[in-house]
Structure 1
Amino acid sequence: MVALVLAGCASVPGGARHQANASSQPLDKLVVVTPDEDHDLLAQLLAGEMALTRTDLKTASATYGRAMMLSNDPKVAEQAAALAVAIRDAPAAEAAINRWQALGAKPAGLAQARAQLALSQGNTDEARRQLELLVGTGDPDAWRQFGRVLVGSRDPAQAAQLLEAVATPQRLPADPQAWLAMSELGDKLGRHAYALQIAEGAVKRFGTGETYAWLGQMKYHDGDKLGAKALFDKAMAKDPKNTHLRLAYATLLGQGGDYAAAAKLLDNGPQDADIYAMRAALAARANDTKTITRLYGQIQRSSEDVRQSNAFLLGQLAEMLDKKEEALKWYDQVADDDDHAFDADVRSAVLLQDLGRSAEAHEQLAQMQTDYLDQPALLRRAYEVDAELYMNEQQYAQAERSFSRALQVTPDDPALLYGRGLAFAESGDIDHAVSDFRHLLQLKPDDTDASNALGFTLADANRDLPEAQRLIESARAARPNDPAIEDSWGWLQYRLGHLDQAEKSLRGAWTARKDADVGVHLGEVLWKQGRQEDARRVFDEVRKIDPQSATLHNTLKRLNP
């Protein structure tokens, strides 16, 4: 059949062939020209964006440089100029700025870009000329752009010089925000006299609540607390409902130790999440249970929206009031997209353990370890909390595993090495404990806690006592009268056979802090001195503090088998 078809085609007359061609689709003869990549605008833009995601500024600058020649969009040229300035490619920056200008850039934007280029080249005179052009354009964003240029400068001294030269009281606009921004920038750049001059000028010219408050903050940091308070009083009189001013004033009062005045200021007037949080912090710092209770009730009685947006704070307040079950319910209501979602989950796990529901606590943390796989800092913290809960349960092998997993996320993390070292020590794996503590001291030679931990571990194992003595002496010098370090020193003296000196140090540590382990150490020393009745009295106190103390159980078994 194929042969017949071919034969038929071959025998079609010429006229019929012409008709067949004429009836074919028009697109059959259309030739589509595909530009090469260098002349494909979309390809260049995509390549530039991909380079930016890799923070490869050099490649991004090159691709945007090609893209701007293929596009009539001024934003493409603007991006090309910004990238060229960022990598200090002056010829490319000049070309991009010129292209941007040809496409209709605003004078303010051009002046900003040229000022940035001049700064990157160290040309202060040209930078000043361009900055003066910028603020002289009258553009509504001119002073904001001016600030961006100086903030982005790699030379703070150069930036400060230009700030004082250009942002003069005579040139600044009739806008209090611009004056405040320049004063704050001057303060950050170390030009305090200039910052104070502009702040005082802003108060004199505008007299708004924010200008009084900013000058008040400057006076406070200069040590003029009475002057600062007077200025803040004027700020509040100008704008009594401004929550930002109330928070700033309350912070100043709190820093001065006047918690009552700070709380009174925040109690009155409009409330929002920040005000509630500050009120709770002040009450907690003052150990004011009455205020905490009142605040908890006030937020509970608020609208559903207020309760929902303050669910995390309500959980914290419930914890302060020892309402653990209520705290759990509030933490459970914290939305997944809330900034406190992770902290709420952590607190829930801790509370579950406090309520005797340790299995649920670890299940919660296991779920968090899955949820935060792509966020190393939070993943590390989830493993660390899991380990800490296992330590509380005296399940030291599981604690070690959780610390080790956390160390896979953030190797050589000092806090994790310290925690794992303690887990090893408690489980009796002295060699690994010593290894972790020594590694930690290599990373942080002056770490007092690590010195004390290693010294005590060696003393407790009755090995390398000269090294233990050197380490604990170093810790004692750094933190004299620290009960934990005195406990280590007393236990070392016991190992050295200096029973009287051991008793003196351990009794001092026990008096300063009724810690179960310290009490057990003191009791053992008393027992070895032949004072069994005194030792039993101390052991009885330890039982009241920690009825499940493994250290006490093991010690009594060893002393009185």
Structure 2
Amino acid sequence: MIKHRPLILSSMTLYWVLSGCSLQASRSVAAVDQAPAIVSPDAEVHVQIPARPFPTETLYSLLTAEIAGSRAQYDLALGNYVQQARETRDPQVAERATLIARYVSNYPTALEMAKLWANEAPHNQDALANASLAHLQLGQLHEAFDYSRRLLDEGGEPLFQNIAASAASIEDDARNRLLDDFRQELERHPEDEQLLVGTGILLQQNGEYDKAMQQVHKTLKLHPRSIPAAILEANLLHQLKRDQEAITKMANLLEFYPENTSLRQQYARILTRYDMALAQEQFSILSQQLPANGDMLLSLGIIALERRDLETAHNAFEELLNRDQHIATAHYYLGRMAEASNDLQEAIIHYLQVNGGNDFLSATLQLLDIFVRQEDFLSAEQHMNRVRLRYPDQSEALYVLHGQTLIKHEHLQQAEQVLNEGLANFPTSTRLLFTRAMLNNERQRLPATERDLRQILKQDSDNVAALNSLGYILADSTQRYSEAYELLEKALQLKPDDAAIIDSMGWLHYRTGKYPDALNLLRQAYEAAPNAEIGAHLGEVLWVIGDKEEARRIWREAQQREPDSDTIRETLDRLKADL
């Protein structure tokens, strides 16, 4: 692990800039969370004879950089430091440039300056650590490893674990080469904890869980209280389906290291799969141990909501709003809670404040659903117009969602208006055409339905959804069985395992009196997707051929799976059957 040492900044920084004297300061390679201190241009300046004099132009440039930094003009400060580091090749100047580049997240420049720093001060641990980190941040893991290897030789603490953890996203060949680097270095340092754990992480990423576990056991034998090894062991136990062992081991380890938040986070995450109450307890502790970490508080709120601990959930989400952390997500969950308690006005207020992020679409749909349920069609339209203006690239999809929501709540006339408007703006949209076709089919407008589906197939002759839908509609509502067969046969060629298409073809055989073929296909479809619609079809064929008990069994089973579906009831009414 990286040691987090404070960034020590001399009050004599300006004096160093003017004099060129050596500045001995401890530097951390941890992520910089504040600007490198740069003294005020109004500070008292004590000028002495330089130990290593710079040209006047260099001194002026560095002084300008310091003043720019004091005014938060970091681009100017960095530009001057980089220029002077290149010209003077002074390690202190390169060090300063490295820290500023890291602060402004200019990783390529940080890498260039860190390498210059390390080249001019090859035994400086901070230079080597920063060069290793800069390569790591740019995904150059082999080079990062090389600098960490040099850092280890100089007695510093390398970044081997971080490098290994970053290898999850690289190609297998590159990871195996990195694994070879780790193994070779282990021959030189067989008891180094970071090398041991890093090797285990790479083996885990390769899917070699047993070998990785052997590496963990070797590490724990040498370092019995190694937190990184314990966390890796827990991950491996989870991947080996041995979560209870992982939970026990981590609980025991937390007794020794109750303040270790990394260990507790891993413990809490595994617990979410087995014991939500205990997981909530752990995230509650973490939110106290890490009061500035909004992720812990968000996790606490979500788990509490899942457990119906509404007071804890509400307090957690409100606290996130007070801290200005995860604002959109907090409003989304507060909206859900208000909606669940039927406080729709409060829900609307929260949903309207979800302005982005992963929950934006869900909040948009929930808000739309509320307006439609209230039959406030004007508010629904205004809301969707605002969203379309903000996200014009999603306008087509938003028309589809608006229409589908209206259809779901059986406001078919309003749905038709929305879909027509959408198609006026996107006349070739297959999604809008298909949605309107299904709406027309529900309203028993066969010519309009067929027209939209044919338009889709004109644009995309292999559109499976249109082929299947039109084939089924022709089989169910007309006697144009030859056309239906051609459409469904092509759909099956494109997606031979699709249960919906198999069901449609089975229904066509039933409609043409080919009961054995129909029964065979419908059984196949129901086995793949035992939903109410396919169950209704299979039950009807069984009923008609006289196997009424089997038909009732299928209908009961399908109805139990989808108790809110009307399909089974409508089939029973039409056949004058009973369960």
**Superposition deviation, residue 277 in structure 1:** 1.0
Query: Does residue 200 of structure 1 match 2:214?
Result: no
**Superposition deviation, residue 345 in structure 1:** 3.2
TM, length-normalised to structure 2? 0.55
**Superposition deviation, residue 162 in structure 1:** 1.9
Question: Equivalents in 1 of 2:460, 2:257: separation in Å?
Answer: 53
**Superposition deviation, residue 479 in structure 1:** 5.9
TM, length-normalised to structure 1? 0.56
2:351 alignment counterpart: 331
Q: Deviations over 1:265-294 (max 9, x none)?
A: 4246435211221343xx4xxxxxxx42xx
Instruction: Give the aligned residue type for 1:223.
Output: K
8 Å CA contact 1:490, 1:506 repeated in 2? no
1:453 alignment counterpart: 469
| Paired residues for 1:177-216 under 5 Å | 183-193=200-210, 195-201=212-218, 203-204=220-221, 205=223, 207=225, 211-216=229-234
Question: Equivalents in 2 of 1:299, 1:372: separation in Å?
Answer: 31
Query: Does residue 431 of structure 1 match 2:451?
Result: yes
1:229 alignment counterpart: 247
Q: Which of these two proteins has the greater Rg computed from alpha carbons?
A: 1
2:386 alignment counterpart: 367
Question: Equivalents in 2 of 1:99, 1:242: separation in Å?
Answer: 34
Distance 1:146 1:301, change over 3 A: closer
| Paired residues for 1:45-84 under 5 Å | 74=94
2:58 alignment counterpart: none
**Superposition deviation, residue 264 in structure 1:** 3.9
2:485 alignment counterpart: 466
1:317 alignment counterpart: 337
Instruction: Give the aligned residue type for 2:311.
Output: G
Distance 1:69 1:418, change over 3 A: farther
Question: Equivalents in 2 of 1:239, 1:380: separation in Å?
Answer: 54
Instruction: Give the aligned residue type for 1:505.
Output: L
8 Å CA contact 2:441, 2:449 repeated in 1? yes
Query: Does residue 156 of structure 1 match 2:181?
Result: no
Distance 1:180 1:372, change over 3 A: farther
**Superposition deviation, residue 369 in structure 1:** 1.2
Query: Does residue 220 of structure 1 match 2:253?
Result: no
Residue number among 298, 301, 305 corresponding to 1:276 in the alignment: 301
Give the unaligned 5+ runs of structure 2.
1-81, 288-296, 520-535, 541-550
Query: Does residue 296 of structure 1 match 2:310?
Result: yes
Distance 1:451 1:223, change over 3 A: farther
Distance 1:224 1:516, change over 3 A: closer
Distance 1:217 1:149, change over 3 A: closer
Identity of aligned residues (%): 15
**Superposition deviation, residue 231 in structure 1:** 1.7
Q: Deviations over 1:315-343 (max 9, x none)?
A: 223445555444334334x4646664553
Instruction: Give the aligned residue type for 2:212.
Output: A
Distance 1:398 1:340, change over 3 A: closer
Question: Equivalents in 1 of 2:402, 2:389: separation in Å?
Answer: 13
**Superposition deviation, residue 184 in structure 1:** 3.1
**Superposition deviation, residue 367 in structure 1:** 0.5
8 Å CA contact 2:161, 2:197 repeated in 1? no
2:497 alignment counterpart: 478
2:185 alignment counterpart: 166
Instruction: Give the aligned residue type for 1:278.
Output: I
Residue number among 330, 340, 344 corresponding to 2:363 in the alignment: 344
Select the structure with the greater relative contact order (CA < 8 A; seq sep ≥ 6). 2
Residue number among 466, 489, 496 corresponding to 2:512 in the alignment: 496
Instruction: Give the aligned residue type for 1:297.
Output: E
Question: Equivalents in 2 of 1:458, 1:127: separation in Å?
Answer: 65
Question: Equivalents in 2 of 1:241, 1:114: separation in Å?
Answer: 31
Distance 1:491 1:325, change over 3 A: farther
Question: Equivalents in 2 of 1:163, 1:417: separation in Å?
Answer: 58
Instruction: Give the aligned residue type for 1:456.
Output: Y
8 Å CA contact 1:418, 1:437 repeated in 2? no
| 3-state secondary structure, aligned to 1:478 | coil
Aligned CA-pair RMSD: 5.5
Distance 1:267 1:352, change over 3 A: farther
8 Å CA contact 2:254, 2:263 repeated in 1? yes
Give the unaligned 5+ runs of structure 1.
1-64, 87-92, 284-290, 527-533, 539-561
1:22 alignment counterpart: none
Question: Equivalents in 2 of 1:473, 1:153: separation in Å?
Answer: 39
Question: Equivalents in 1 of 2:467, 2:498: separation in Å?
Answer: 12
**Superposition deviation, residue 499 in structure 1:** 9.2
Q: Deviations over 1:494-552 (max 9, x none)?
A: 6536699798636468652464466556756x4xxxxxxx39x99xxxxxxxxxxxxxx
Instruction: Give the aligned residue type for 1:299.
Output: A
8 Å CA contact 2:301, 2:314 repeated in 1? no
